[in-house]
Structures are given as C-alpha cells and as structure tokens.
Amino acid sequence: MLTKTIVTLLSLLGAGYTFAVDVPSRVENVVVYPEGARVTRVATVNLSRGNNTIRLVGLVSDIDIEGLQVEVVGNNIRLGQIKLSEEQTRESFDADINELQAKIDALTRDKKTVEDSSDAARLRLQFLKGIAEGYAKEAWLEGTRGTADVTSWQAALDLLQSGSEDANKLIRANDAKNIEFGKDISVLMRRLKTLRGRSLATSVVEFSLNTDTATQTDVRLRYNQEDASWSPRYEARLDSDSGRLQLLQQAEVFQETDEDWRSVELTLSTSEPHGDLIAPQLDSQFLDLQEPGPPEPRLRAMKREADGFANYEALEQIVVTGQRAQTDVGGFAVSYRVPGRSDITNDSEEPISIDLTQFEFTTDLVTQVVPRESTQAYLAARFTYDASLPLYGSTMTVYVDGTYVGETRMPTALPQAELMLPMGQDRRVEIRVQTQGGERGKQGIVNKRKSEATDYLFEIINHRGLASEVEVFDFYPVARNRTIEVTVPRSATTPDERDIDDKPGLIVWRKTLDAGATWRIRHQYTVTYPARSVLRRN
C-alpha cells in the first residue's frame, strides 16, 4: 500500500506539478529621476524542462505592481503569470536589530574603558601636581636655611616632568580613540534607527517560466521607488584676467528607500516619468449674472491659497562628485551614465562624488554698479552658452581666481542662450557717491507747484591692471499722474539705455573703463507737482 502511494505521488509530480524555487537577486542598475527612481534587479535561475515556478525573495516591501516588469534574457523561454505578495520577516528583522545593538554595546564598553584610562591618567597628574607643590615648598624652606640640595631637586623635577608627559600623552591618545568610537557608534545608531523605521515585511515576486530544455538564464526585475531623486549643482571657476570660465555640473542624489544600492550601474536622467502624460483638459465656461455677495475676508483667502501648496519632507542628501559621467542627449531628456559602479546607500553620512559634465567658456567680464543702493561693485561673466546640453537651474558655488566667493543661483539654460552669471564683489573697482545738493522749491502764483531736484555725482575708479566693462544702473521716476512732471537737465549724463528689462524708468550707463581711469556720471532730474498735493513714491 505504501509503495503504491509513493508511485502514485511520483506519477503526479511527473505529470507537471512543480515546486516553487526561492531565488535571491541583486540590484544591477538604477536610473534616478528628478522624482523617483527605476531599479533593475538581476537573478540567475536554473530551469528544468517544462514548467518552473520562481520566487524572487527578499525585496523591499513598497513595490507597486503597476510598475513591475519581469524580463527573461534567454531564448525559447516562456513567461507565465506574475504574482506579487508580502511576507513577514520578524525573525530576520529582530536578528538584524540584535546584531546592531550588540555592536553598539561593544563599542560603548570600549569607549568607557578608554574614558576610565583617561580619568586614571588625570588622577596621576593631580597626584604629581600635589607632590610638586609640596616639594617646591620644602625646597624653598631649605633654600632660606641654606641647606638646599640642588642635585636632588633636579632629579625630582625630571621625575615629575616624565610622569606628566606620559600621562598627557595617554590622555591625548585616548581622546583620539574616543572620537573614532563616537563616529562608529553614531553610524550604527543611525542604521539602527533606519532599520527600526522600516517595514517588517518584504515583497516576493512569483512567476512561472516554461522551457523545452533544461537551461540557465538571467531574469531582470524592474520596479519604481518613490523615495529617491536628484538635482543638479554647479561649480563656477573664473580667471578674472583671461575671462576663462570653467563650469562644472555636479549632482545631488537623495536616497531614502528601504534598500541599499551597492556596486550598481548608476544613471541620472532628467526625464520625469511620474509627471502627467497628457495635456490638461478644458471644460466649457458659461457666464451668468447674480447679486454680489459679501467679500471674502483677506485672511481666509490667503489661507486658502496657502493650502494649495504641497509640503515636502527633506530626504537624506548624498552629494555626488567624482569621475566624469557620460552624457546621452535625447529629444526629450538628458541621461548621465556614471562610469564604473557606484554605492548609493540609504544610511551613509559621507558624500559620494561623481562629476557629470564640465564646460569652458570665454566670457566678457562686466562690472555692475548700483551706486544709489551700494558703493560696492559686482562682477559678472557674460557669454553665449553654445553647448548642446541643456542646463537646469540650481545652486552654484563660485570661485574667482581660486578664491571661494560664495553661492548663487545658476539659471536654466538652453543651447545658444545668453547668460550673465554673477561672480561676486569686484573689490578692484571703487565707487564714490556725492550728493550735489538737490533743491526743493515753489513756483507759480495762481497754479502753485512744488519742485524737488535730485543731483548725484557718481565716480567709478578702475584699479585693475586691465580695462573693464562697467555698467551703472539707476532710474528716473515715472509719473502716474498727468500733473506730475519729471524733467532732466542738459547737464545730466545721458544714459545709454532706458527702460531696462521692460521696467519703466530704469536706466544704465555703459563704458569701457581703462586701467586706472576715473569715470564721472552726473545723475540729475527734477520732479514738479501741485503744491497742495503730497508726493508718494512706490
């Protein structure tokens, strides 16, 4: 009877019943987008002839079935139904927690042992100090009596000095050890906190593969991760004598997923697959009349407007700079393929470096001045961005002649765009502002009018060894009322351009200022208006 049962069971298994095989996988490559990432895992599976059920285990718990994709590398292998499920991992979770806690406890004990050693050394120093003070008092008394033994004094001093040096040396060495212990404990505590914040479940992807012959093949699993992103960052280095500008594009990668990306092929893409794929749809609009209701209080309206903005939590930042990335420019996006393999962990405190691209431009340097607001000159680099790669606006660190001058904003730039990048204060151009005594007065007998005269003398002195392009900005006030009149006397220096950037009244004077030369600008205008009115400036 037992033999018959076994034979029947074996015949059923041979008829097509298969056991599921658990297979581990590794992260092969990651594409990080401005929002989110696409992760590709690879698993090697051994297939027998017929139907095989494969389970990819140990995956992160927040995989979305809609973005899940399974790809079989081999030929003549048929992929069946795909199933996504979760499994509880309390035992392995607790084991990881206990392992980390044991490491933290061991380091804490070692740190305490070193601290005890330093405390003992400090006690020795206090003891030696007490001996030295007592011996000095005794030696002083012997000296007053004329019975001092200079030889014994010197031997005692040498002994005290040697003991103090040994104690201080030990304390310094222990302090250095404690710093390293503190760093190691901090890293482990951060990992422990991250681990405790993760899900106690892992995802399992189960699918069937059918083949006519036994074989080995690779299976690629792709899925999306939300808690990752990247943004560009720039570094500008200007040689102010030659006008050469080096512009380095870097990346800042944010990674707070439940998995580490170790030794992966990393690509940073400007594509936004999480965005909308179709244009917004419009509905018909109809007009009607109704009686006006009470106005909405402004405070309530401001709150309603503010509620429309999303709040985002900052993710852990990993600065990426290092070996230059390869660039692929497509019709819709740019992809930076990082050479070699990268480690982008979710609990790392240290930045990982990858350089994306570097450009060099010959610029026209312009010193910009707004003397009515500030007597400080500001340097800017003007050039045509002639590369084929679009640049996305972000933070830019600026260096001039090898000196760090600060951070500013790099604007978004398309190919052939005219750019003006700020380079910080230009201390080799001096600005002087003198008020020439603007006057107030009244005129007319019947239609009395007031007048206010503004009169400045701007002096710009070039202390550079080379000629400099200088732009000086100011304004003429613009009248919004016909009874207000703004006049400019002939003695005023005529500006080179008015209404700068389509802003009424803004003016600029431009000049190539030779080395050591002084440029004087007389800025004058008079405003007249009815004497019974009050002039408002806004």
The DSSP-derived string for 42-75 is EEEEEE-SEEEEEEEEEE-TT--GGG-EEEE-SS
Q: What is the mean pLDDT of residues 416-432?
A: 92
Q: What is the mean pLDDT of residues 257-268?
A: 87
Q: Which residue stretches of 283-342 are H helix?
A: 298-306
Residue 489 has a pLDDT of: 93
Question: Helices (H), strands (E): how many in the chain?
Answer: 4, 29
Q: What percent of the chain has pLDDT over 70?
A: 75
Residue 147 has a pLDDT of: 57
Q: What is the mean pLDDT of residues 356-380?
A: 92
Alpha-carbon span 104 to 186, nearest angstrom: 9
Q: What is the mean pLDDT of residues 232-246?
A: 92
* Look-up of token digits 């940073």: 268
Over 50: is that where the pLDDT of 16 sits?
A: no
Residue 9 has a pLDDT of: 33
Over 80: is that where the pLDDT of 433 sits?
A: yes
> Count of alpha carbons within 13 Å of 496, Cβ hemisphere only?
10
Instruction: State pLDDT tens for residues 374-394.
Output: 999 999 999 999 988 888 888
**Taking the domains of the chain in order of start, what are their residue ranges?**
19-28+40-89+200-225, 99-196, 228-273+314-425, 429-530
Residue 508 has a pLDDT of: 95
Q: Please check whether residue 267 is in contact with residue 29, taking contact to mean a CB–CB distance below 8 angstroms.
A: yes
Alpha-carbon span 423 to 396, nearest angstrom: 10
b vs e for 96-110, b when ≥16 Cβ sit within 10 Å of the residue's Cβ?
Answer: beeebeeebeebeee
Residue 457 has a pLDDT of: 94
Residue 12 has a pLDDT of: 38
Main-chain phi, psi angles of 17, to 5 degrees? -75, 135
Alpha-carbon span 484 to 478, nearest angstrom: 9
Q: What is the mean pLDDT of residues 395-413?
A: 91
Q: What angle do CA 121, 126, 127 make, to 5 degrees?
A: 95
Instruction: State pLDDT tens for residues 435-454.
Output: 877 566 555 554 688 888 99
Give the least confident one: 116-125, 215-224, 444-453.
Answer: 444-453
Over 90: is that where the pLDDT of 281 sits?
A: no
Residue 303 has a pLDDT of: 39
Alpha-carbon span 10 to 260, nearest angstrom: 43
> Count of alpha carbons within 13 Å of 266, Cβ hemisphere only?
31
* Look-up of token digits 């700079």: 321
Over 70: is that where the pLDDT of 353 sits?
A: no
Over 70: is that where the pLDDT of 537 sits?
A: yes
Over 50: is that where the pLDDT of 310 sits?
A: no
Q: Which residue has the higher pLDDT, 420 or 280?
A: 420
Alpha-carbon span 155 to 16, nearest angstrom: 95
Q: Quick one: which of 266, 404, 385 has its CA closest to 322?
A: 266
pLDDT band, very low/low/confident/very high, at 14 (cuts 50, 70, 90): very low
Over 60: is that where the pLDDT of 321 sits?
A: no
> Amino acid identity, residue 94?
D
Cα–Cα distances in angstroms (integers) from residue 526 to residues 90, 369, 375, 445, 485, in the given order: 81, 23, 23, 20, 8
pLDDT band, very low/low/confident/very high, at 304 (cuts 50, 70, 90): very low
Eight-class DSSP state of 216 = E
Q: Please check whether residue 367 is in contact with residue 376, taking contact to mean a CB–CB distance below 8 angstroms.
A: no
pTM assigned to the model: 0.62
Q: What percent of the chain has pLDDT over 90?
A: 31
Over 80: is that where the pLDDT of 259 sits?
A: yes
Average pLDDT, the chain: 79
Eight-class DSSP state of 309 = S
Most confident stretch, 20-29, 323-332, 528-537? 20-29
Give the contacts of 393 (CB within 8 A, at least 6 positions apart): 409, 410, 411, 412
Alpha-carbon span 26 to 15, nearest angstrom: 33
Instruction: State pLDDT tens for residues 66-117.
Output: 788 999 987 889 988 888 887 765 555 567 777 878 888 888 888 889 888 8
pLDDT band, very low/low/confident/very high, at 332 (cuts 50, 70, 90): low
Q: Which residue has the higher pLDDT, 151 or 304?
A: 151
Over 50: is that where the pLDDT of 7 sits?
A: no
Q: What is the mean pLDDT of residues 509-522?
A: 95
Sign of the C-alpha dihedral, residues 385, 387, 388, 393? negative
CB atoms within 10 A of CB 174: 20
Instruction: State pLDDT tens for residues 453-510.
Output: 999 999 999 998 889 999 999 999 998 888 889 999 999 999 999 999 889 999 999 9
Find the length of the chain.
Answer: 538
Over 90: is that where the pLDDT of 318 sits?
A: no
Give the least confident one: 154-158, 205-209, 314-318, 436-440.
Answer: 314-318
Over 70: is that where the pLDDT of 185 sits?
A: yes
Q: Please check whether residue 54 is in contact with residue 22, taking contact to mean a CB–CB distance below 8 angstroms.
A: no
pLDDT band, very low/low/confident/very high, at 371 (cuts 50, 70, 90): very high
